[in-house]
Amino acid sequence: MSSSAPPYALAACLAGHTSDVRALDAYTLSDGRLVLLSGSRDQTARLWTADADGAFHAQVLEHGSGFVNAVAFFHDGTALYALTAGQDAVVYAYEVHTGAEMLVAPTPRYSLVGHASNVCSLRAFGSAYFASSSWDGTVRIWTQWECTATLAGHTQSVWSVLPVDADRVLSASADKSVRLWSIASPTEPVAQWDGATQAVRDLALLPDGTFVSAGNDGHLRSHSFDGAHTTVATVPAFVYSLAVLPMHRLASSGEDRCVHVWHGPSLEQVLAVPALSVWCVHALPNGDLVCGASDGCLYLFTRDEQRRASAEQMATYAQHVQTQSLSAGEVQGVRSTDARDALQTPGATEGEALLLRQGSRTERYQWSTHTRTWQPTGLVSESAAPSQKTTWRGKEYDYVFDVDIADGAPPLKLGYNVSENPYVAASRFLEENDLPASFLDQVVRFLEKNTEGVTVSPHVAADPYTGEARYVPGAASAPGDRAPAPLSVLPQKVYQSFTHIQLSAAHAKILEVSSKDSAAPLSAEDKQALQALITSLETRAEPIPVDVLGRLLRTWPVTLRFPLLDLLRAAACYTCTQPYAMLVSDALIGADWDALDAVGVDRKVAATNSMLALRTLANGFSAPAGPTTMDELALEALATLQSPPWPVLNRHGHTALATVAYNYSIRALEHTSYEHVGLLLQLIMEILSQPPTAIESECVYRALLALGNLLCAPCSASFTPAQRDQARDRALAWRQSIAEPRIETVCADIAALP
């Protein structure tokens, strides 16, 4: 290692978040003070400031709702703001008061609506503008707190955005491409770089005028703006984040429990972190670096001996790294030995790994070129013995896994015993968490991968949804008559709903709106009723007192109703003080449904309000008497939705509409004769008739499940052969438009139906 670049060592560990730290930024004040900003899956952001002795203190920012996946500092020329964004698709700006005592405003000064889905990246270009990117496939440029340009063209989520200069912006996408845009001419990209084999997750601009991209294929690629690119480094894991360090160094982090420090193509240092996912890494102005991890901590590393952690802190940190549990899948391909003297033989390269077996214990070691030693970095989990059982929900299991079903959802617990049929364990997990059966094979593969090497008695794996043995290519079978092959996912009988809400944020927003706009008054009685509503929702104390929402939704301006509609949507899952028919009426009136696509309507407001109204309809099926009540409202609801307001529906609105159709299809399954089957079929066909560029795969998937359910239902006997053929053809056309396994699976089921 070059003497001009001393190694990084631990400086501090900042604990406070209760879930994964997904985003980081840093800012240096005019007096030299360093400020950090972190965003987490715990639905908060935190502003970290250091006192004179170097200890950090945090202030909590209560983000709108959902996970915080992006943060940034932005100085608009007059004040400093902490920006947060994430699952609720809104960018929030909190003013930071930078006096002797650092204070952040308790509520956002600006709430910027525009994106239709999760915001996953925020970056600023000086005081000129900041950019945001989203799962909706777009980048938005914000100048003076207004969206001044929308850069649309990516076909999948835009994971990262990077301002280059006052006019140019780079974007990285799950569609495996990197694009360069001009803010002045935003309709088409200026340039595009392909070559990645999986999603591109982050970008970093280098001092020499080139930039680096990285992503799920593990490759770090160097690009020049003339279009050339080369692969400069590779790691055997997803790469989530990049950071440019001083002295021509680059840091990367990802799904391999560490931060890599690169000098050109050479791996200079591997910094072990006691967490599986290192979601983000950021360079600090003083040359240090900070990373955020899945254990909820921020870890600071420094090259400066004066800023290093104490010997005691370093020892504690090393112990956490040394004792972390590694799955067998994480150490596949790593050289192993049972010879203790193997630790006396130097490694060949920085970060080289070695497994040392000592009886029933297997330790992983990592070679450090700067200490010239093998450093312990974890214990490999062996096959669970009865004495090693873990208790989950009152039952003992050999394994209890944390399973990430979706990037926007918290991990779920999956208990598994090595002696049981993996399909039984997977189906139990799906049923406990109200997940669709289409995830069955994915969960089974997860179990098989993470319990490799465990020998159990042979059995024929039976699919718990059909009772039949799973098909194994090439397996022998007895001759004779056989029943038709069972369907993989159809029919589906679990209602889907939209239950997540941050009640305190919704309540605060209503109070804020009322305090700022005289057209949205709240009497003392209204405030008392709202507090009672919030308390009931928090404690799930039924009946939920929703009367106040009906009054306000009929009197407040349409542009200010969205937090009221959000509370109504949440209440719809429970028994309420008003009949559900009144909640539906309140939702449609509150959204001004009949005028959604009228001339002059604010499209952003209409998109949010219509989405929340549709979610209210979908949630009605989850209430205690919901299914029966929704049957009674079927004629009114399905007739209202026959001509959806497509011009104003956003991605969330599309999915909510398809969910209403899907939930009604379950009602059709449960009736021998369903009088509204014609209206339901028309709605499903209307959704599936949209151009592939107009709706996204989640909406299509739910609509296909709804169609499949309908074709499985007894009432489908009333369909003419022409109707069945048209429905089947409409469904199968989506096989060509969306190349996703789940789409292929449900289409195959529909094709197999008589």
**Pairwise CA distance, residues 300 & 513, whole Å:** 39
Measured CA distances, 267 to 87, 206, 258, 485, 520 (Å): 35, 17, 13, 52, 59
The Cβ of residue 688 has, within 10 Å, a number of other Cβ atoms equal to 21
Q: Answer whether residue 500 shows pLDDT above 50.
A: yes
User: What pLDDT band is residue 435 in, cutting at 50, 70 and 90?
Assistant: low
Alpha-helical regions (H) of 483-523: 503-516
Q: Which domains does the chain have, with CATH numbers?
A: 1-16+208-307 (2.130.10.10), 325-380 (no CATH), 386-450 (3.10.20.870), 503-752 (1.25.10.10)
What whole-number percentage of the chain has pLDDT above 70? 88
Is 175 in contact with 216 (CB distance < 8 Å)? Answer: no
Could you give the maximum distance between any two Cα atoms of the chain, in Å? Answer: 85
Measured CA distances, 651 to 93, 126, 269, 699 (Å): 24, 31, 43, 8
Residue 635: the pLDDT is 86
Q: Which residues contact 288 (CB under 8 A, 6 or more apart)?
A: 11, 300, 301, 302, 303, 304, 307
Residue 736: the pLDDT is 81
**Pairwise CA distance, residues 332 & 354, whole Å:** 11
Q: Answer whether residue 347 shows pLDDT above 50.
A: yes
Of residues 384 and 110, more confidence is placed in 110
Q: Determine the residue type at 328.
A: A
Cis peptide before 491 (omega within 30 of 0): yes
Q: Determine the residue type at 275.
A: A
Cis peptide before 543 (omega within 30 of 0): yes
| HSE-up of residue 697 (Cα within 13 Å, Cβ side) | 16
Residue 326: the pLDDT is 82
Q: Answer whether residue 185 shows pLDDT above 90.
A: yes
Helix (H) or strand (E) holding 300: strand 298-302
The mean of the pLDDT values for the chain is: 85
Q: Answer whether residue 468 shows pLDDT above 60.
A: no
249: β partners = 245, 263
Mean pLDDT for the stretch of residues 714-743: 86
What whole-number percentage of the chain has pLDDT above 90? 47
Q: Answer whether residue 458 shows pLDDT above 70.
A: no
Nearest to 132 by CA among 167, 76, 165, 92: 92
